[in-house]
Amino acid sequence: MASLRPRTLFCRLPLALLLCAALGACMSERPPIGLPSAQSIQFDGVHALGPNCASIALPSTIGDPDMVEHPSIPFGCATYSNLAAQLARPADIVQPTPYGGTNGVVAERALSRYNAMPEPHAAPDAAPATTNVGH
């Protein structure tokens, strides 16, 4: 770039930026509107239920010159079904347990016990561990 004159460099830079912006706009699309959210997880009184995958499936937008129909895609179905299966208290979906806060005295005692523990040291006469695996 040292051989380029400064005037040429300043002319090419805006052109390169414009080209990058134009190509970047062509290569990306916005996600479809209507994707599910965490509100799609339901509670039946006992269990948390994931969303109905058939109701949130979006038609495939894959272009196909042979006009073969592609399966629809239920974006978010697996994510929210797995989240519903992992809830420890499914009733928290409807009525969450209020946060009780922290107890500073209990935390301070735990830190004091941790800090009072002696440092683990190897015995000075301990031989290094050796194995004969692979020999």
State pLDDT tens for residues 55-67. 888 777 666 666 7
Q: How many CB atoms lie within 10 A of CB 129?
A: 5
In whole angstroms, give the CA distance from residue 34 to residue 108. 48
Query: Is residue 54 scored above 60 in pLDDT?
Result: yes
Cα separation values, 98 from 65, 81, 95, 101, Å:
56, 25, 9, 9
- The DSSP output letter for 11 is H
Average pLDDT on 78-98 reads 88
Reported as a pLDDT band with limits 50, 70 and 90, residue 3 is: low
At 115, the amino acid letter reads N
Query: Is the Cβ–Cβ distance between 85 and 48 less than 8 Å?
Result: yes
| Contacts (Cβ under 8 Å, ≥6 apart) of 38 | 80, 83
From 116, 120, 124, 36, select the one nearest 79 (Cα to Cα).
Answer: 36
In whole angstroms, give the CA distance from residue 76 to residue 82. 10
Average pLDDT on 36-52 reads 85
Average pLDDT on 79-101 reads 88
Helices (H), the chain: 6-26, 53-56, 77-86, 104-116
Cα-only R_g, the chain: 30
